[in-house]
Amino acid sequence: MSLGLTEFTLAEARDKLRAREVSAQELAEAHLSAIGSAKALNAFVVETAERARADAARSDARLAKGEGGILEGIPVAMKDLFCTEGVVSTAGSHILDGFRPTYESTVSANMWREGAVMLGKTNMDEFAMGSSNETSHYGPVRNPWRADGDNRDLVPGGSSGGSAAAVAAALCLGATGTDTGGSIRQPAAFTGTVGLKPTYGRCSRWGIVAFASSLDQAGPMTRSVRDSAIMLRAMAGYDQKDSTSVDVAVPDYEAALDRSVKGLRIGIPTEYRVDGTPAEIAALWDQGIAWLKDAGAEIVEVSLPHTKYALPAYYIVAPAEASSNLARYDGVRYGFREDRDDLTEMYEATRAAGFGAEVKRRILIGTYVLSAGYYDAYYLQAQKVRTLIAEDFKNAWDRVDALLTPTTPEAAFGIGEKSDDPVAMYLNDILTVPANMAGLPAMSVPAGLSARGLPLGLQVVGRAFDEETVLQVGRTLERAAGFDHRPTPWWRDQP
Amino acid sequence: MSGVIQGATGPWEMVIGLEVHAQVSSASKLFSGAATAFGAAPNTQVSLVDAAMPGMLPVINKVCVEQAVRTGLGLKAKINLRSVFDRKNYFYPDLPQGYQISQYLQPVVGAGTLVLDMEDGTSREIGITRLHLEQDAGKSVHDMHPDRTYVDLNRSGVALMEIVSEPDLRSPEEAGAYLRKMRSILRYLGTCDGNMEEGSMRADVNVSVRRPGADYGTRCEIKNVNSVRFVQQAIEVEARRQVDVLEDGGEILQETRLFDSRKNETRSMRSKEEAHDYRYFPDPDLLPLEFEQAWVDEIAASLPELPDDRKARFIDELGLSPYDAGVLVAEKEVADYFETVAGGRDAKVAANWITGDLFGALNKAGLEIASAPVAAKDLGALIDLIADDTISGRIAKGVFDAMFKTGRPPGEIVEEKGLRQVTDSGAIEAIVDTVLEANQHKVEEYRGGKEKLLGFFVGQVMKQSQGKANPKIVNDLLKQKLGNPGA
Amino acid sequence: MSLDKATVARIARLARISLPEQDLEPMAAELSGILTWIEQLGEVDTDGVAPMTSVVGHALHHREDKVTDGDRRDDVLANAPESTDGYFVVPKVVE
Ligand SMILES: [Mg+2]
Ligand SMILES: [Zn+2]
């Protein structure tokens, strides 16, 4: 019974709640017990059962009166990068040990206002720096998916790996993620879920622990495109407290889903056919092209000449901003402190012990590329290249309405497989990073399985603030792919 | 103190540039809604943004930008319609973000000028390099515990204008005059209260020495000097130190130094200096700061008359001396007081009463013009009483003292004490007669040619009238009754 | 670009992250690997290209000059590792 209750999509649950066929409290209990029996995934760092029960009771009361918001009674998980009032928020880092914000991030506050029920905080790569969720201070998240006839643990992708795993394993109906270089879309692809990174400026960054300010953007992670549309509407909106938030109306995304793509022009960027792309990825891409063509879309080859430079430029801009954003973690006002008699020693010991290897690596890279004598060659050059990348997309929009590409160059890999080769790990984001560099909305939709039975995703990129077209194309792919595979729950009641 | 130091090997010239940090007059901080008031309990004027809590973001205060633009216009400077906020990265406990939001390559205000008025009445233009907006840091308190430092973030995020001068200053006096003039302009504009005691105006002083006319020498920066007097002392001792080093064949290394007013010496701050590399880059939490020329024009239209223009007007239209005009415009309050007193009266007389009697009395009482017991309109009334012969100039001095003590208007005091001049010649003639009567032989001596005795008779008459007899009438009557000496 | 130990030590000092001597060499190698890969950016001709300042093409919005925050010392100090009499407390800073 409780099992069934976790199998709904967010949209189905919403309709049943409004029809009073299920209660928010039943839903909450079902998901809490699912979480309780999924410890093996290590998807949650904090579980807020009591909070969930209180939220659910409140929602039932509203629903009984025929009231309630967009997400009324919907159990969701919150990535630990979001500051949640009174609930420990650590960004997966030792240096934020025990940090209890006295404030609530704008995005999470928007969701609570719309009636969402909080199940807990999800595990993530430390400060969202990673593509495998292996850099978390709380240990790696295990992907609910395993390759056929192989019970080795796979990564769920990252940095929003805990949210992706929780959604894929039906531990929640939706979860928040953040995407700086692919941190929503890549884990979505690795776990057979839907991940949407909105336009930069669409969701407020206020109260989200900053990684790279000019790239960070929050978005929904769900099991269907419709769920994504519903959840984004609740998360999005202009925020006075974020100078980079943009004051444009938030449409009813769900209404866009059933528009036909007939006549839409879909661009296929030549440069995304990177050498060494596995045949099955190329095949999936061709399949996606065929599906959209069948649905009446016009397929257009386009060129985004600076694509190959997006990733190296990203690995200058993001670490540079991070090196400055993470300077505030100094053991003075919150979090972990390594005591020393000398101030500088206190700083150096606190940050040495508080940050993990990948975070230190990026802080050092960022410090170096900004340091005297290197700024022009690295940071300034990267920001100029970024301008060229954005222009590539602008030119494409003269000819097409959206772009279709694979989300990742490969399916989920094994835990530990890439840990000792940073660049190999970074290459995972090669197809997702360009949208961040240009601030464009992009979504990953599960489109098929690899030869080893692992999920693969297709990515749709759209014009700034045109999430509607992205969702519309995503919905078309979803319908055509009919992706209804679910991982077998090997994790249930495992240690 | 003078700009030239006579060393053992010859004369050395001081070269001085100032970086003034002026706190913007605003109710709330540059990027947060916390208050800026001085002297609040520790950490009670701190928002989550000022404390750099995770995920907090800056949103700029429009009035702070307007104040910077207004100040730029007051310094006849170029206003940049597009400027950029950068992060200056370094670690310090009173810098919660680990970076200061400042403006590095593209400041909001560019080159301008400030006119120095020297003691001798001459004036000289000093170049302003730039003005930019930046956040103030918090306060580290080192003396509350033997081995701990306490941190108060009330100042953290308060808006500062950093105003940088060209190295155009040549002596401690000029540096002092520059600071006084800057403070005067900021106060006229209402963009900074200029209160150095409360730290709302601080200066970093760049000092170097050179042979007269030679190229600039290596400079040292003396950080955070917080009074005009200390700035002048710091320049003096630092320049002498540099001369000594150079004359001993040593060389000056460019560094940041600290002025110790107790020991009257500057000391190297290498500890803080260590490996500075601020890694400036544009703050990705903020967009470039852009505004319209029309908005700048509106602000320009609302500027008050500034000290230089006011001084020129006092000289040209009111006929004051450059010196008096300079003294009167330095403080806006004084200039306003003067204009009330001088209104419809002899401006020179008004100026003399203010720079003479009023300033003297204020000084003795240790008072500011704002709290002067004598209202401007009352001082004006006093001048009128002299002009219309109600009282004599000499009586007026006494009346002024009474006004300063009691704060009462001159009319009341004159009436109460019956100080009006006697102009009734009958009454005066009676006194004259009694005086001549009582001094027969002196009258003879006068008539015999001892002319200077006239003064004696006048004195006697005035004495008997308690100074109230109109001196002119007294003179006329005496001459008339004594006849021509030696006749 | 390959970094030497001294440079890594200098950067680590700037970033206030203590790196034990034995970690300098391997870190130098790691960072050099990443930087070498990044340096392909040098190939791109960016003459006359303006650096990206913001991907969102809108104007910076302003706050009115109103006191809307502050006066929340307890919130500010709530998570402090060490605080006394309303102050944050750190090891003595030697000026
Ligand atoms: Mg300075
Ligand atoms: Zn400054």
In this predicted model, what pLDDT tens digit does every residue of A440-462 receive, in sequence order?
999 999 999 999 999 999 999 99
Whether residue B271 lies within 8 A of chain A, CB to CB, comes out as: no
Residues of chain B in contact with residue A332, where contact means CB-CB under 8 angstroms, are 93, 96, 151
pLDDT value at A3 more than 60? no
What are the backbone angles phi and psi of residue B10, rounded to the nearest 5°? 125, -175
Q: What is the CA radius of gyration of chain C?
A: 23
Asked whether the predicted pLDDT for residue A209 surpasses 50, the reply is yes
Chain C residue closest in CA terms to A202: C56
Chain C nearest C-alpha distance from B325 (Å):
36
For residue C55, count CB atoms less than 10 angstroms from its CB and return exposed for 0-12, middle for 13-18, buried for 19 or more.
buried
Contact A326, A127 (CB under 8 A): yes
Helix-then-strand count for chain A, H and E: 17, 11
Please state, in angstroms and rounded to a whole number, the distance separating the CA atoms of residues A33 and A54. Answer: 16
**pLDDT score for A251:** 97
Residue to substitute from B32, B43, B290, interface C, most C β-carbons within 10 A:
B43
pLDDT at B145: 94
Tell me how far the alpha carbon of residue B204 lies from the centroid of ligand 1, in angstroms.
6
**pLDDT greater than 90 at residue B132:** yes
Report pLDDT for C95: 59
Residue A371 contacts B, CB cutoff 8 Å: yes
pLDDT tens, position by position, B78-106: 999 999 999 999 999 999 999 999 999 99
**Would an 8 Å CB–CB cutoff place A320 in contact with chain C?**
no
B231 within 8 A of B175, measured Cβ to Cβ: yes
Angle A55-A56-A62 from CA coordinates, rounded to 5°: 95
Arithmetic mean of pLDDT over chain A: 96
Please tell me which of the candidates B26, B42, B288 has its beta carbon nearest to residue C86: B42
Of the listed A23, A59, A79, A245, which one is catalytic? A79
| Confidence band of B273 (pLDDT split at 50, 70, 90) | very low
> Using CA of residue A244, residue A249, residue A254, residue A255, what is the dihedral sign?
negative
For ion ligand 2, residues whose CB falls within 5 Å: B 162
Q: Which amino acid is at B483?
A: G
Tell me the CA–centroid distance for residue A243 and ligand 2, in Å.
23
B484 in C contact zone (CB under 8 Å)? no
Q: How confident is the model at residue B197 (pLDDT cuts 50, 70, 90)?
A: confident
Which A-chain residues 158-187 have CB contacts (< 8 A) with chain C? none
Which of A102, A381, A438 is opposite residue C78, by nearest beta carbon?
A: A102
CB A103 within 8 A of CB C76: no
The more confidently predicted of residues A425 and B127 is: B127
Cβ–Cβ gap C67/B91 under 8 Å: no
User: Is A127 in CB contact (< 8 Å) with chain C?
Assistant: no
Q: Under an 8 A CB cutoff, do C95 and B142 touch?
A: yes
B282 burial level (CB within 10 Å; 0-12, 13-18, 19+)? buried
Q: Which of residues 232-291 of B touch C (CB under 8 A)?
A: 258, 269, 271-272, 275, 277, 279, 282, 284, 286-290
Tokens of A296: 């009446």
Burial (CB count <10 Å: 0-12, 13-18, 19+), residue B251: exposed
- The neighbouring-strand residues paired with A393 are none
* CB interface of C with A, residues 35-54, below 8 Å: 35, 37-44, 46, 49-54
Does residue A1 carry a pLDDT above 50?
A: no
Chain B residues 432-461 within an 8 A CB cutoff of chain A: none
Instruction: Please give, rounded to a whole number of angstroms, the shortest distance from the CA of B314 to a CA of chain C.
Output: 36
CB distance from C22 to chain B under 8 Å? Answer: no
Q: Which chains touch A (3 or more CB pairs under 8 A)?
A: B, C
Residue A269: the pLDDT is 97
Q: What is the mean pLDDT of residues B294-299?
A: 98
Q: Tell me, in angstroms, the distance from the centre of ligand 1 to residue B23's CA.
A: 14
Q: B150: nearest CA in chain C?
A: C89
pLDDT at B1: 56
Quote the tokens at residue A21: 């066929």
Phi/psi at B350 (nearest 5 deg)? -60, -45
**CA-based nearest residue in chain C for residue B64:** C65
- Closest Cβ–Cβ partner in A209, A244, A341 for B55: A209
What residue type is A318 in one-letter code?
Answer: A
Q: Check if the beta carbon of residue B452 is closer than 8 Å to that of residue B446.
A: no
Return d(Cα A246, Cα A237) in angstroms, integer. 8
Percent of chain A clearing pLDDT 70 (strictly above): 99
> How many residues can be counted in chain A?
495
Question: Tell me, what amino acid is at B32?
Answer: S
* B256 CA to centre of ligand 1 in angstroms: 10
Q: What is the pLDDT of residue B120?
A: 74
* Domain residue ranges of chain C, discontinuous segments joined by +: 5-42
- The mean per-residue pLDDT over the stretch A457-477 comes to 98
Cα of B71 to ligand 2 centre, how many Å? Answer: 16
Chain C contact for B158, CB < 8 A? no
pLDDT given for residue C1 in this prediction: 64
Q: At residue A369, what is the residue type?
A: V
Closest to B390 in 3D by CA, of B357, B430, B417, B426: B417
**Interval B368-397 mean pLDDT:** 92
User: A208 in helix, strand or coil?
Assistant: strand
B108, B131 contact by CB (below 8 A): yes
The residue ranking higher by pLDDT, B110 or B476, is B110
Q: Name A480's Cβ contacts closer than 8 Å, sequence gap at least 6.
A: A291, A292, A294, A295
Quick check: bond before A444 cis, omega within 30?
A: no
Q: What is the pLDDT of residue B274?
A: 54
Q: Which residues of C touch B153 (CB under 8 A)?
A: 76, 88
- Which amino acid is residue B328, in one-letter code? L
Considering every ligand atom, which ligand is closest to the CA of B132?
Answer: 2
From chain A, pick out residues whose CB is under 8 angstroms from the CB of C88.
332-333
Instruction: Report pLDDT for A2.
Output: 44
Q: Is A108 annotated in the active site? A: no
From the list B364, B373, B311, the residue with the least C-alpha distance to B339 is B311
pLDDT for position B310 = 96
Q: Chain A window 334-373: which residues touch C at a Cβ cutoff of 8 Å? A: 334-337, 339-349, 351-352, 355, 360-361, 363-365, 367-368, 371
Residues A255-277 have a mean pLDDT of 93
**For residue A326, which residues of chain B lie inside 8 Å, CB to CB?**
98
> Which residues on B lie below 8 Å from C16 (Cβ)?
91
- Digit-coded pLDDT (tens) for A284-315: 999 999 999 999 999 999 999 999 999 999 99
What ligand is nearest to the CA atom of residue B22?
A: 2
Amino acid, single-letter form, for residue B270:
R
Check if A159 is active-site.
yes
What is the distance in A from the centroid of ligand 1 to the CA of B214?
26
Q: Which of C10, C64, C73 sits opposite B43 (nearest CB)?
A: C73
Against a cut of 0.90, is the pTM above it? yes
Mutate which: B149, B278, B279, B289, vs C, most C CBs within 10 A: B149
Question: Which chain C residue's Cα is nearest to B61?
Answer: C63
Say if residue B440 is exposed, middle or buried (CB neighbours under 10 Å; 0-12, 13-18, 19+): exposed
The confidence band for A329, taking pLDDT boundaries of 50, 70 and 90, is: very high
pLDDT in the model for residue B472: 83
Confidence of residue B34 (pLDDT cuts 50, 70, 90): very high
Q: Round to whole Å and give the CA distance between B119 and B235.
A: 19
Put simply, the chain A residues between 192 and 251 with a CB less than 8 A from any chain C CB are 200-201, 214, 240, 243-244, 246-247
Whether the CB of A374 is below 8 Å from some CB of chain B: the reply is no
Q: Using one digit for the tens of pLDDT, what is the confidence trace for A363-386? A: 999 999 999 999 999 999 999 999
